[in-house]
Structure 1
Amino acid sequence: MEIEEIINGIKKVLDEADSAREEALKITREIVRFSGDAIKAIHRNELEVARKRIENAQKLVSMLKENLKPYPMIYYSGYVQNAHQEFVEATLLLAYREGRELPSPWDLGVPEADYLMGLGDFIGELRRHFLLLLIEGKIKEAENVYQFMEKLYEELMTLEYPKGLVNIRTKQDQARHILERTLEDLTRAKLNRELEEKLETVIKNER
């Protein structure tokens, strides 16, 4: 085969892959946008809005998987993984807020490694929910969230794999710091509540 024919054949393959990459970039941006909008809606207690955004993102996740079947090097690239993580994070948060079982990576149609990274980010969003509950004075509910965060962290820490397989160590470190700050906030809030109750008792007895 002449070198010109070889190069032309290679160009054809790469042109097709490049077109798939460009389309994937557009889809992943939409997945990230829908997922981010869903998370914002969840924290505003607009769960129906969040559900619709996640449904839109789920369709795009499925489309992306189908479109990139011939191009695994693109499907397992960084920007696709990031989109999956955002989607997983939003989906897990909605499931938790609705009191449902957490969906698995196989339910969502995403790679297991991407799911684990999204699970790590989910702990951060739970902290945000925890803080909103503290602001509202719902200490018992906030404590329940902390206990769930602790459970997730313990499970996350059972994972010991090389970075080349799944870069989970970073998420484990982040989760540990988040959990430490959350426990400090919870302890402080409970002490403040106890102090308030004692003061109220003293004031009532003095009347």
Structure 2
Amino acid sequence: MKIAQIITRIREVLDEKDGLREEALKITRDIVRLSGDAIKALHRGDFELAEERLNKAQKLVKNLREMLKNHQDLYFTGYVQNAHQEFVEAILFYSYLKGKEFPSPTELGIPEADYALGIGDFIGELRRYFLILLMNGDIAKAEEVYHFMESIYEELMTLEYPKGLVNIRQKQDQARYILERTLEDLTRAKISKALEKKLEEALKR
């Protein structure tokens, strides 16, 4: 085969990949946007909107997987992984607030490594929920959320794999830092509440 023919074939393959890459980038941006919208809606208590956004994101996740099934080099890229993480974070947060079973990677159609990284992000979202509860004065519920975060962290720490397989170490370090800050916030809130109660009792005497 002549070099010109080989180059022509290479160009055809790369043109196809380039087109798929552009389409994949668009889809991943949409997944990230929809997942972010769902999380914002959940914090507002708008579950109907959150469900709508998550359903749309789920369809795009499936479409992306189908579109790239013969192009695994494109599927296992950073931008696809990031979109998966955002979606996992949103769906886990939704499931937690609704008291539902957490869907598995297989059920969502997402690689296990991406799902694991999404769990790390989920801990961060729980902290935001925790802070909202504290600001609303619901210390008991906030403490419940903290203990749940702690249980997730303990499970996340059992994943010990090389960076080339799954870059989980960074998420574990972030989760540890988040957990430490959350415990500090909870401790301060409980101390403040206890002092407030003692002050009220003293004023009644």
TM-score computed with the length of structure 1 as normaliser: 0.98
For 2:165 and 2:181, the matched residues in 1 are separated by 29
Structure-to-structure mapping, 1:23-172, within 5 angstroms? 23-172=23-172
* Residue identity in the other structure for 1:19: G
Q: Higher mean Cα deviation, 38-47 or 178-187?
A: 38-47
* 1:96 shift after superposition: 0.4
For 1:108 and 1:186, the matched residues in 2 are separated by 34
Write out per-residue CA displacement over residues 159-205 of structure 1, whole angstroms, 9 at most, x where no aligned residue. 11000000000000000000000000000001111111111111112
Write out per-residue CA displacement over residues 118-174 of structure 1, whole angstroms, 9 at most, x where no aligned residue. 100000000000000000000000000000000000000011100000000000000
TM-score computed with the length of structure 2 as normaliser: 0.99
* 1:48 shift after superposition: 1.3
For 1:94 and 1:153, the matched residues in 2 are separated by 18
* 1:47 shift after superposition: 1.3
SS of 1:70's partner is coil
For 1:25 and 1:74, the matched residues in 2 are separated by 10
* Residue identity in the other structure for 2:65: K
Question: Does the alignment pair 1:13 with 2:7?
Answer: no
For 2:188 and 2:44, the matched residues in 1 are separated by 25
Write out per-residue CA displacement over residues 81-120 of structure 1, whole angstroms, 9 at most, x where no aligned residue. 0000000000000000101111111111100000011100
For 1:189 and 1:99, the matched residues in 2 are separated by 26
Q: Structure 2 regions of 5+ residues with no counterpart?
A: none
SS of 1:161's partner is coil
Q: Higher mean Cα deviation, 167-176 or 1-10?
A: 1-10
| Matched-pair identity in % | 66
* 1:10 shift after superposition: 1.1
Residue correspondences, number: 205
SS of 2:160's partner is coil
